[in-house]
Amino acid sequence: IRESATLTRDVLEQHFNDLKGTLKKLLDERLMSLLQEVDAIEQESIKPLDECQKLIEHGVSTADDLLREGESAVHGDVGQQNEKLCSFTKKALHIQLDSLPEVPSLVDVPCLSAQLDDCLLTILKNQIFRHGTVASRPPVQLEEFVEKPGGILVRWCKVDDDFIPQDYRLQYRKSTASHFEDVYVGSETEFIVLHIDPNVDYQFRVCARGDGRQEWSPWSVPQIGHTTLVPHEWTTGLEGYSLSSRRNIALRNDSQSCGVLYSKAPTYFCGQTLTFRQVLSGIETVGQPDRRDSLGVCVEQQNGYDSLQRDKAVCISTNGAVFVNGKEMTNQLPAVTSGSTVTFDMEVVQLGPSSTEGGNFKLRVTISSNNREVVFDWVLDQCCVSLYFGCSFSYPGWKVLVF
């Protein structure tokens, strides 16, 4: 409690200090803008009046000069009077002493003033007094961590009944890292975080954004999650497939070589969920489908096959056909396309002899694809603690992520 209270005080003080600085900057910018507007109006309005004044002063000066010249002509010598009077008469004919520029009336001359509405202070006061809240607990909290091979399924839930969430935001960081990073933003309440190192602690936190709001809620209490399960990896070295750096994505390349790409080790255990996801490989469509294509699990690696549609294996073809020990089932799933997710779930339902089934080990298998699933019993003649997974595609362009 003391730690979170201290952190909250620091956040509040920093936020309001930032607001003060920003508000002062905005007020200074607005003041400067208004002063520049006053300068512009003053310069624009005074210019014609200055020109009018100059014309009037010039006319008065010219008339004053002519008047003095006339007085000199009248009071001068008799011999020079005629010449001066003649010059005076010519100048008087060429100037217009009875013409002056129009002077605008007083009501037409701008008179600057500032209109400052005091309601701004009222508005700011009301907004400031409503700005910010202090919550005793966040509206969402982390609920569950489920170990996955090379990943963690994180679930969270809403704990404030009055809070209506629009989006959630999940962040994580390695125990040795100093900063959290976003890993999911969306409306779901669970997410599988991949690329998790086994037996390493990670911190997670989640927050939410209320319906119609822009700001995020306070973060949940950070919690530690980890996985002890090694990540699923494809086997390297098969000519027909290119692998990602983490070896969890396989791309069927242009090589004419064909065969089944198996997992590096039997890392799939009963009780877990194995997921295959088709991802784009730089083009808008996946590869051309073929009836021999397969995604599935098997008891052991067997070279020499170009498909998992064989004994001791269960799989789904890209056209949605399901095969058990090489035999096609009557039930069929939707075709596998770009973005499709196929999951395998298995549980042990029988151990020991079973003469009617011809085997002594039975697994209950559920294969799901595009919101449809098939459930069947897979009978084996040996106990299998762990299984391999594999895939085979006849044409290039297919790209599969496994987790």
pLDDT digits (tens, 9 = 90+) for 115-133: 888 888 888 888 888 887 7
pLDDT digits (tens, 9 = 90+) for 3-22: 888 988 998 999 999 999 99
Pair (145, 282) in one structural domain: no
Pair (123, 159) in one structural domain: no
Pair (156, 117) in one structural domain: no
**H/E run at residue 158:** strand 151-158
Closest by CA position to 252, among listed 391, 360, 106: 391
Whether residue 135 is contained in a domain is answered as no
Pair (316, 255) in one structural domain: yes
3-class DSSP string for 169-192? EEEEEECCCCCCEEEEEECCCEEE
d(Cα 208, Cα 349) in Å, to the nearest integer? 41
Compute CA distances 42 → 38, 104, 109, 259, whole Å.
6, 16, 11, 86
CATH number for 209 = 2.60.40.10
For the chain, what's the residue count? Answer: 403
Q: Which of 191, 225, 259 corresponds to the end of one domain?
A: 225
Amino acid at 318: T
Whether residue 233 is contained in a domain is answered as no
Whether residue 356 is contained in a domain is answered as yes
Q: Which domain holds residue 119?
A: 1-130
Indicate the pLDDT class of residue 96, thresholds 50, 70 and 90.
low
pLDDT digits (tens, 9 = 90+) for 288-333: 888 999 999 999 999 889 999 999 999 999 999 999 999 999 999 9
Pair (181, 89) in one structural domain: no
Select, from the ranges 53-57, 82-86, 229-233, the one with the highest average predicted confidence (pLDDT).
229-233
Pair (258, 147) in one structural domain: no
Closest by CA position to 365, among listed 315, 292, 328, 301: 315
φ/ψ of residue 233, rounded to 5: -140, 145
Pair (194, 74) in one structural domain: no
Whether residue 236 is contained in a domain is answered as no
Angle at 235 between CA 231 and CA 241, to 5 degrees: 115
- pTM score, two decimals? 0.62
Pair (110, 166) in one structural domain: no
Whether residue 64 is contained in a domain is answered as yes
Q: State the total domains in the chain.
A: 3
pLDDT computed for residue 175 by the predictor: 87
Pair (163, 288) in one structural domain: no
Positions of E strands within 159-239: 165-174, 181-186, 190-193, 202-210, 223-225
